[in-house]
Structure 1
């Protein structure tokens, strides 16, 4: 029997002011705002899926090149650039919360590893402070939409496709898109423009001057 047609997703990119509200609420409320801020910043910078962050281990950090190894659905894995600031936050988290090298990186203050329930708590709590978060059922996947939309608008479809970690080109993208693949350096360049920070792998002279707060999408929020 043919599969039923999948309904179009209601998720979309968040506007800058909505993103600011979300990150502000998360970082100033709850029982562990430092943890929640780290979760949000990681998703905004990497556009990873929830499982990518939950599977991250301290030994997956390439500190020198500011890269993290993301292991996501379908047993896929890839190196994803992060800003020097986020890398420093990740290292600090590991040191303060005792994350073992080959164990889950994200930890509560008690040392217990963070799981999916933290996401439920985070967005449920923020939804109590911001009604639009509750009504629209905002989740971490909305941050993925937000970042990838921004990357596509500024750096093009090929870079956005690679930034997303899509193993295959969507069938409706056209034949040419299968042959036009972005490099890791181009992804790092997009991350540099996104964060407003220099990245060791970014292409020199390829980061545009953006009309965004502090020259970045995340700069003013963390």
Structure 2
């Protein structure tokens, strides 16, 4: 008997104990997908669901450790080639990137469940397509005026469309943040809305008292009663969905050709507002306005964090309307006193 085998027997260890016999049986892609979906958040299921289904359709009968990197790369090429042509289409590049991101999420779950080793993930051996430079920019004052005028003078619900455009312009929120608004998320006294956006972030965002009042009137007139009732509603009283935005921008593109040519969407309003805030106030305040205060950045961002009052100051300056949380003058007074500076008015 060889010395290594004798040592194993002395320790009471068999060769089978040294194998991966205790690792769970590796399922097929189709068998494992329900577990991945169940563990994902609702937002992740919406984002990656179609790509996961594509993976199951192509390789559902294969064990997850039998899918190769070349298989996923081929699937990525198919997704890019078959991508629907949209106003902001980039020749399928985003569709291919999206599929690899979904595949990586799938295999991260398999690694966490101990089904495969981290080094065995085929999705992480496929390079994501490099993103093209963004084409979005801040709208000019004239462009913004044209969009708002057309929204208020066309369509089957001009009140709702005007509210949507104003809400996104004042808050720079994303579509998801607006769609998630409930009655309880509106503070008409302090001019605030509570935004729940991507990454499970929640923040209070200043809005003008005028907009807050119109939002409350809108909700009351269209059947929002309970605190958890959705705030934004169609004329029939039903909560709106993302399709309302799609129809709005399709209509605007038909009446304003330049809107369709540039693929302008709600997210352009976010660019417009945040650019204005950064130019007229500061980078730190623009980060807070965007809800990026906790996102990674340079170490300098630790010292330039803005608060709710700073955001209210920027909103007040942008809209020309005073805000209950606007303390620009107070901040200046406290800074002068703390620094020992002499106010020009006292000389």
Match of 1:190 among 290, 314, 317: 314
The offset of 1:109, in angstroms, is: 1.3
> C-alpha offsets along residues 81-104 of structure 1, whole Å, 9 cap, x if unaligned?
000110011011011111132121
* TM-score, length-scaled by structure 1: 0.89
Distance 2:177 2:330 in 1: 28
The offset of 1:169, in angstroms, is: 4.0
Aligned to 1:82: 207
* TM-score, length-scaled by structure 2: 0.57
Aligned to 2:244: 118
1:147 aligns with 2:273: yes
Distance 1:73 1:176 in 2: 24
In the alignment of these two chains, the number of paired residues is: 205
1:13 aligns with 2:138: yes
Aligned to 2:283: 157
SS at match of 1:205: helix
Q: Which sections of structure 2, spanning at least 5 residues, go unmatched? A: 1-124, 332-347
Match of 1:177 among 293, 301, 316: 301
Distance 2:151 2:252 in 1: 6
Greater percentage in helix: 2
Contact 1:49–1:141 (CA under 8 A) maintained in structure 2: yes
CA RMSD, 1 decimal: 1.5
Contact 1:58–1:103 (CA under 8 A) maintained in structure 2: yes
1:25 aligns with 2:25: no
Distance 1:169 1:13 in 2: 22
> C-alpha offsets along residues 152-188 of structure 1, whole Å, 9 cap, x if unaligned?
00011000000000153454xx321233100110000
Contact 1:67–1:82 (CA under 8 A) maintained in structure 2: yes
Distance 2:285 2:141 in 1: 21
Contact 1:189–1:206 (CA under 8 A) maintained in structure 2: no
